[in-house]
Amino acid sequence: MGWPYLGETLQLYSQDPNIFFSAKQKRYGEIFKTHILGYPCVMLTSPEATRFVLVSHAQLFKPSYPKSKEKMIGPHALFFHQGNYHSQLRKLVQSSLNLNSLHKLIPDMEAIAISALDSWAGREVINTFHEMKKLSFDVGILSVFGLLDESHRENLKENYCIVDKGYNSFPTNIPGTTYHRALLARKRLKQIMSEIIYEREEKKIMEKDLLGYFLNFKDEKGRVLSKDQISDNIIGVLFAAQDTTASVLTWILKYLHNDQKLLEAVTAEQKAIYEANEGGRRPLTWAQTRNMPLTYRVILESLRMASVISFTFREAVVDVEYNGYLIPKGWKVMPLFRNIHHNPEFFSDPLDFDPSRFEVAPKPNTFMPFGNGAHACPGNELAKLEILVLIHHLVTKFRWEVVGSQSGIEYGPFPVPQHGLPARFWKESNHHYRH
Ligand code: HEM
Domain-wise residue ranges, the chain: 9-146+207-427
- Ligand 1 center–CA 11 separation, angstroms: 27
Over residues 350-378, the pLDDT tens digits come to: 999 999 999 999 999 999 999 999 999 99
Query: How far does the centroid of ligand 1 lie from the alpha carbon of residue 376, in Å?
Result: 7
Residue 350 is classified by DSSP as T
> Which atom of ligand 1 lies nearest, measured to the CA of 303?
5
Phi–psi pair at 7, nearest 5 degrees? 55, -130
Q: What is the DSSP pairing of strand 422-427 with strand 125-127?
A: antiparallel
Long-range contacts of the stretch 158-167 (C-beta < 8 A, 24+):
159/185, 159/186, 159/188, 159/189, 159/192, 160/185, 160/189, 160/235, 160/238, 163/72, 163/189, 163/235, 164/242, 166/72, 167/69, 167/72, 167/239
Ligand 1: which of 59, 244, 388 to mutate, judged by most atoms within 8 Å of the beta carbon? 244
264-297 burial string, b = 16+ CB within 10 Å, else e?
eebbebbeebbeebeebeeebeeebbeebeebbb
Q: Which residues of 24-37 are buried (b: 16+ CB within 10 A; e: fewer)?
A: bbeeeebbbbbbbe
Indicate whether residue 366 lines ligand 1 (CB < 6 A).
no
For ligand 1, say whether the CB of 371 is within 6 Å of any of its atoms: yes
For ligand 1, atom 1, name the residue with the nearest CA: 245
Flag whether pLDDT at 432 surpasses 70.
no
Average of per-residue pLDDT across 327-331: 94
77, β-bridge pairs:
none
Q: What is the mean pLDDT of the chain?
A: 91
Average pLDDT over residues 249-260: 97
pLDDT of residue 331: 94
Lowest pLDDT segment from 51-55, 62-66, 158-162: 62-66
Residue 11: pLDDT band by 50, 70, 90 thresholds?
Answer: low
Q: Does residue 345 have a pLDDT over 90?
A: yes
Band of pLDDT at residue 201, cut at 50, 70 and 90:
confident
- Please give the Cα distance from 92 to 88 (Å, whole number): 7
More confident residue, 115 or 10: 115
Minimum CA distance residue for ligand 1 atom 18: 377
Q: Is the CB of 248 under 6 A from ligand 1?
A: yes
The answer to whether 393 touches 106, Cβ cutoff 8 Å, is no
Q: Is the CB of 240 under 6 A from ligand 1?
A: yes
Tell me, what's the pLDDT at 67?
A: 83
How many Å lie between the centroid of ligand 1 and the Cα of residue 141? 15
Helix (H, G, I), strand (E, B) or coil at 34: strand
| pLDDT at 29 > cutoff 90 | no
Nearest atom in ligand 1 to the alpha carbon of residue 236 is: 35
User: Ligand 1 in contact with 78 (CB < 6 A)?
Assistant: yes
Mean pLDDT of the 112-124 span: 95
Number of neighbours of residue 157 by Cβ within 10 angstroms: 13
Length reported for the chain = 435
Which of ligand 1's atoms lies nearest the C-alpha of 374? 41
pLDDT computed for residue 386 by the predictor: 98
Residue 161 counted as an annotated binding residue:
no
* CA distance linking residue 134 with residue 249, whole number of Å: 12
pLDDT at 342: 96
3-state secondary structure of 225: coil
pLDDT value for 167: 85
What is the model's pTM? Answer: 0.93
239 alpha-carbon distance from chain centroid: 8
Q: Is residue 400 helix, strand or coil?
A: strand
Question: Beta 39-44 vs 332-335: how paired, if at all?
Answer: parallel
Q: Phi and psi of 30, rounded to 5°?
A: -75, -20
pLDDT at 28 (0 to 100):
65
Would you say the CB of residue 40 lies under 6 angstroms from ligand 1? no
Element (H, E) at 322: strand 320-322
**Contacts for 134 with CB less than 8 Å, ≥ 6 apart:** 116
ipTM: 0.99
Under a CB-based contact definition with an 8 Å cutoff, are residues 65 and 313 in contact? yes
Q: Which amino acid is located at 191 in the chain?
A: Q
CATH number of 9-146+207-427: 1.10.630.10
Name the 3-class secondary structure at 44: strand
> What was the pLDDT predicted at 239?
96
Whether residue 63 has pLDDT greater than 80: yes
d(CA 14, CA 21): 13
From the CA of 380, how far away is ligand 1's center (Å)?
Answer: 7
CA distances 384 to 290, 362, 388, Å, are 10, 18, 6
Q: What is the pLDDT of residues 163-185, one digit of tens each?
A: 999 888 888 888 999 999 999 99
Rounded Cα distance between 261 and 267, Å, is 10
Predicted confidence (pLDDT) at residue 394 exceeds the cutoff of 70: yes
- CA 108, 113, 115: angle at the middle one, nearest 5? 95
Q: With a cut of 60, say whether residue 298 has pLDDT above it.
A: yes
Question: Which residue among 65, 377, 387 has the greatest number of ligand 1 atoms within 8 angstroms of its CB, and so is best to mutate?
Answer: 377
| Atom nearest to 308 CA in ligand 1 | 5
Angle at CA of residue 119, ends 117 and 120, nearest 5°: 65
Question: Residue 10 above 70 pLDDT?
Answer: no
Pair 142, 387: CB distance under 8 Å? no
Report the C-alpha gap between 54 and 44 in whole angstroms: 11
Residue 69's pLDDT is what? Answer: 83
Segment 406-431 mean pLDDT: 87
Pairing mode of beta strands 314-316, 332-335: antiparallel
Peptide bond into 413 cis (omega under 30): yes
The proportion of the chain whose per-residue pLDDT surpasses 70, expressed as a percent, equals 92
